[in-house]
Amino acid sequence: MEQRIIKYAEAIKEATKQILESDKSAFLMGLGVPQGAAGTAVGLKDLFPTQVLDTPTSEAALTGMAVGAAISGLHPMVYHERVEFSLLAGDAIFTQAAKWNYMFGGDNPVPVVLRIAVGRQWGNGPQHSQALYSLFGAVRGLKVVIPSTPHMMKGLLISAVKDKNPVVILEPRWLYQVKGHVPEEMYTEPLDKARVVKEGKDVTVVAYGDAFVDTLAALKLIPQDISVELIDLVSINPIDYQTIAKSVEKTGRLLCVDSTNSAFSIGSEIIAKVAENPVGLTQAPVSVAAPDVPVPTSPALSEFWYPTKVDIANGILKMFGKPLLDIKLPFEELHLAPTTTLE
């Protein structure tokens, strides 16, 4: 049977439509949501006029209202088109939603879903291209996931709405046009479990979000005599250390890929945890990440900031003492969001 292929943004829209159809206590809200939310909600206002809500430009107010609605038993989904804007709702997210159930004895759920667009976009520069993964990953009381494929995006969004905890979905906008297989029916994916995408015996590579897609491309550039075990991290709060440790114990090597700064990154957190109990580790772990400066706006500079598939491949090759690749990528691949179909 031929697999159905749709875009990442279309997977979000389809999951949202099915959620709103099946759960009348669910609703979607956010600034400009009825206008399409970067292609993830096009036409939903017409189908669900009382469940798709536009809001004034006040991230603190709209998120606070959603948290209150969740405490009262509804299932709100909030869309923030930039992670920088979501910080204006920091009190509602980090102090109220994340801590409410803990403060009141564990029987007071806050089932709010926060969809937040993060990361690279052509020419957006230092103020509109941040990811801030570590900030959300450090907040106890939140579940935080980063879908790397259209299939994972749909399943994680449905799981998030069904969960009793506040769930933050950090959506790499770089992936909105990426295509992949997505079942038409509703399904769920675990919110706290990494997935081993490719089994191997020589090196464990951990990636997530847009860095995962780049890593898939990087594996096509390395010789087949290097057997890579590729892990899609999926969740950064909590991190599935058990799956990572089991893999590292088998391969003896670890390489982590981040599409943001290396300092205080998810990769550095994983490397630190593995170093605390380095069972089976035969070589120092490696980090492939962006430099510790803000991302530039100019394409002439930003092409040297984000790790590419060549950088990731060379990180692996260097671990094995292999010759490094000297490949110049075209402008489109460096600066324009991918439209590829994931295998």
* Active-site residue, selected from the candidate residues 59, 171, 229, 269: 59
- Per the structure block, which two tokens stand in for 165? 């905890």
Please name every residue paired with 203 in a beta bridge, in sequence order, or none if there are none: 228
Please name every residue paired with 183 in a beta bridge, in sequence order, or none if there are none: none
Residue with tokens 């749709």: 6
* Active-site residue, selected from the candidate residues 75, 128, 171, 269: 128
- Per the structure block, which two tokens stand in for 150? 């259209």
Question: Is 128 tagged catalytic?
Answer: yes
Q: Are 267 and 289 in contact (CB under 8 A)?
A: yes
Mark out the alpha helices in 220-276 (DSSP H runs): 241-251, 266-276
Residue with tokens 């057997």: 227
Q: Which residues contact 17 (CB under 8 A, 6 or more apart)?
A: 44, 47
Cα 285 to Cα 97: distance, rounded to the nearest angstrom? 36
Q: Report DSSP letters for 134-166, one per residue.
A: HHHHT-TT-EEE---SHHHHHHHHHHHHHSSS-
314-333 in b/e form (b: 16+ CB < 10 A) is bbbbebeeeeeeeeeeeeee
Q: Which residues contact 298 (CB under 8 A, 6 or more apart)?
A: none
- Amino acid identity, residue 59? E
- Amino acid identity, residue 149? T
Cα 208 to Cα 206: distance, rounded to the nearest angstrom? 7
Cα 34 to Cα 31: distance, rounded to the nearest angstrom? 8
Burial class (CB in 10 A: 0-12, 13-18, 19+), 282: exposed
Query: Catalytic amino acids?
Result: 59, 128
